[in-house]
């Protein structure tokens, strides 16, 4: 789960991590009041969406007077903000953060993430703050300093020193930074975060470190023990079909391609996406209908996949272990009676009662159902159907 910058900063503040003053507003008429309360010489108006790169897209603006604050808020609130992380369609800005301006001496990057290779949380720092860290990582990887933190020993002085040396900090700066980094580690582990990014972490003219930007992602499997974080969920920022799928126990993730996928089991769903790519196609989604797929879940699956207008063909790839393929075959027929599926449906049913299932589908003589012999055959057929190119 993701949260907004202003929410991440509330959590930071609880842990004593320095942030600039700020107030989130949803209405233009609250702009002046917010800026007045914050005070200071200048303000920064920031779009709150679950995507980075807002500055470049026009979602971060500076204001020197209250009139300017109002003007900049009016420009950002309600705008459709396109950044490299939103995709070309962009995101509607419904919340704006009015923050106090900070005089910046230097911008750094500081982040934490779970590193799956070392199986440990890793803290990363860089002098290349304010830039896209992915670009820094690919062009000048030596500029990113990393420390692995064994959760059993926690964050230690030597971790902080290694990062601080790499960042070229002075002795005094190092002291302030160590405190900051150690609190950051506490936030990360207490809140079961899967990622924290502070880009930029800034050094002010008074040699203080302030988190100027904040991004936090959380491990969904641990959310049950963080009701405070669950409350921060902003459904406006999530894909409506993903929310609906969750209600029915389906794991659905929308993607940009045109081949709809309906699969049982996350592993099979992943390999289905791989093989579609291998055949030159592009999956439109990840959809795991669950180990115990039924006619109902299949019907719901179709409904959800078909909400995506990019989908040109659907690959139903079900392995009958616990579920019986003949039931799924009947389920598909029932579902196609209920929901009009006008695009080609390539069906591969393997495992328990697969022969019975094949007969059911053949006898049904439904025009748009294409039977597949195996996984590779199904992938070929569905990619051909979606692209209109026969292989």
Q: Which residues bind ligand ADP (CB under 6 A)?
A: 20, 44, 46, 52-55, 60, 99, 101-102, 104, 107, 130, 199-200, 212-213
- DSSP assignment letter at 87: -
Catalytic residue among 5, 128, 197, 279: 197
**Beta pairing, strands 369-371 & 345-351:** parallel
Q: What distance in Å separates the CA atoms of residue 329 and residue 351, rounded to the nearest whole number?
A: 13
Q: What are phi and psi of 116, to 5 degrees?
A: -75, -20
CB of 4 to ligand ADP, least distance (A): 11
Q: The tokens of 382 are what?
A: 């569905």
CB of 18 to Mg ion, least distance (A): 16
**Beta pairing, strands 313-320 & 345-351:** parallel
Q: What distance in Å separates the CA atoms of residue 308 and residue 386, rounded to the nearest whole number?
A: 14
Find which of ligand ADP, Mg ion, none residue 215 binds, CB within 5 to 8 Å per kind.
none
Instruction: Please say which residue, 167 or 316, places its beta carbon nearer to Mg ion.
Output: 167
The verdict on 128 binding Mg ion (CB under 5 A) reads: no
Find which of Mg ion, ligand ADP, none residue 77 binds, CB within 5 to 8 Å per kind.
none
Find which of Mg ion, ligand ADP, none residue 44 binds, CB within 5 to 8 Å per kind.
ligand ADP
> Is the distance from CB of 287 to CB of 305 less than 8 angstroms?
yes
- Selected from 213, 279, 308, 326, the binder of Mg ion by CB under 5 A is 213
Q: What distance in Å separates the CA atoms of residue 344 and residue 380, rounded to the nearest whole number?
A: 13
Whether 197 is a known active-site residue: answer yes
Q: Which of 356, 357, 340 is nearest to 348 (CA)?
A: 357
CB of 291 to Mg ion, least distance (A): 40
Instruction: Please say which residue, 163 or 214, places its beta carbon nearer to Mg ion.
Output: 214
Q: Which of 329, 373, 318, 378 is nearest to 351 (CA)?
A: 318
Catalytic residue among 109, 185, 188, 252: 109
Binding range to Mg ion, per CB under 5 A, among 71-79, 83-91, 97-105, 209-217? 209-217
Whether 109 is a known active-site residue: answer yes
3-state secondary structure of 194: strand
Residues lying near Mg ion in the complex (CB under 5 A): 199, 213
Residues labelled catalytic: 109, 197
């Amino acid at each position: 789960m993701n949260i907004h910058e202003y929410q991440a900063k509330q959590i930071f503040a609880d842990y004593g991590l320095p942030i600039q003053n700020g107030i989130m507003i949803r209405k233009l008429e609250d702009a002046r009041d917010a800026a007045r309360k914050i005070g200071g010489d200048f303000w920064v108006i920031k779009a709150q969406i679950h995507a980075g790169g807002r500055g470049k897209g026009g979602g971060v603006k500076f204001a020197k007077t209250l009139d300017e604050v109002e003007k900049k808020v009016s420009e950002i609130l309600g705008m459709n903000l396109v950044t490299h992380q939103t995709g070309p369609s962009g995101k509607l800005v419904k919340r704006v953060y009015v923050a106090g301006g900070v005089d910046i001496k230097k911008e750094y990057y500081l982040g934490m993430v779970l590193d799956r290779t070392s199986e440990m949380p890793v803290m990363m720092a860089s002098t290349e703050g304010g830039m896209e860290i992915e670009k820094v990582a690919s062009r000048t990887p030596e500029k990113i300093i990393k420390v692995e933190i064994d959760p059993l020993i926690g964050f230690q002085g030597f971790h902080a020193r290694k990062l601080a040396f790499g960042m070229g900090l002075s002795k005094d700066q190092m002291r302030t930074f160590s405190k900051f980094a150690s609190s950051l580690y506490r936030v990360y582990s207490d809140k079961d975060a899967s990622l924290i990014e502070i880009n930029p972490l800034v050094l002010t003219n008074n040699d203080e470190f302030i988190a100027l930007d904040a991004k936090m992602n959380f491990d969904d499997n641990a959310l049950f023990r963080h009701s405070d974080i669950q409350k921060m969920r902003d459904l406006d920022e999530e894909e409506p079909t993903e929310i609906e799928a969750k209600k029915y126990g389906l794991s659905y993730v929308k993607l940009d391609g045109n081949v709809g996928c309906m699969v049982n089991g996350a592993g099979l769903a992943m390999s289905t996406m791989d093989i579609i790519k291998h055949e030159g196609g592009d999956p439109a989604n990840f959809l795991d209908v669950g180990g115990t797929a039924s006619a109902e879940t299949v019907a719901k699956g179709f409904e959800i996949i078909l909400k995506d207008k990019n989908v040109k063909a659907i690959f139903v790839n079900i392995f009958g272990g616990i579920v019986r393929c003949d039931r799924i075959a009947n389920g598909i027929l029932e579902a196609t009676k209920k929901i009009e599926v006008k695009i080609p449906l390539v069906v591969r049913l393997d495992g328990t009662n697969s022969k019975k299932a094949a007969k059911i589908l053949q006898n049904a003589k439904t025009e748009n159902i294409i039977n597949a012999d195996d996984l590779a055959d199904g992938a070929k057929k569905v990619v051909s159907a979606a692209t209109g190119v026969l292989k």
